[in-house]
Structure 1
Amino acid sequence: MRVCVDYDKCTGLGLCESIAPEFFEVQDDGSLELLQSDAAEAQRAELLEAARACPTEAIRIED
């Protein structure tokens, strides 16, 4: 599975980082860094929760 971020939509609030810190990190300037884009099936629930928590719907999980 693959994690995708629409950086044009992202506002850097960091909800995704609080849920899945091994995938997302908000930088000092407020920009989001995707730390890894490939994910194992065992991480699906965590990543879906991070995507649902994103207020701007900038995170997408693809199979």
Structure 2
Amino acid sequence: MITDECINCGACEPECPNTAIYEGGVEWTFAGGTALEEIDYGDGTVVSAKVKQKPVSDEFYYIVTDKCTECVGFHEEPQCAAVCPVDCCIPDPDNEEEDETLLAKKAWMHGE
């Protein structure tokens, strides 16, 4: 997650291998930076991965939890945290995931 201590420098956004980081107020899509074409919610609802979603934050850069793999399978550590000059990219205590789950998410998003 990105805390409200974010200075909106944008250093984190280009470092994300999943395109899971967006500028505050910017809509996001599952398709952006992934191989996803459709999202199946498992309840009979299937939507295009290109459907724009509401921003998670209007003020600060934000991370889309459903797209974040904490860089597992790409890098040794989360790249957003590595480049953040004010250390505001931190683990989200409400969304802790095991490496197995993160690797499965990576495979799902990138068609592996």
TM-score by length of 1: 0.62
Runs of 5+ in structure 1 lacking a partner? none
Q: Where has structure 1 moved over 6 Å in runs of 4 or more?
A: none
More helix by share: 1
Q: Which residue of 1 aligns with 2:73?
A: 42
Aligned to 2:24: 27
Q: Which structure carries more strand by proportion?
A: 1
| CA drift at 1:48 | 1.9
RMSD of aligned C-alpha atoms? 2.9
- Partner Cα separation in structure 2 for residue 47 and residue 5 of structure 1: 16
Which consecutive residues of structure 2, in runs of 5 or more, have no partner in the other structure?
Answer: 26-57, 99-112
Matched residue of 2:73: which SS? helix
Structure whose CA Rg is larger: 2
**Percent identity at matched positions?**
17
Distance 1:13 1:46 in 2: 23
- Count of residues in correspondence between the two structures: 58
22 and 30 in structure 1: CA distance in 2 versus 1, 3 angstrom threshold: same
TM-score (norm: length of structure 2): 0.40
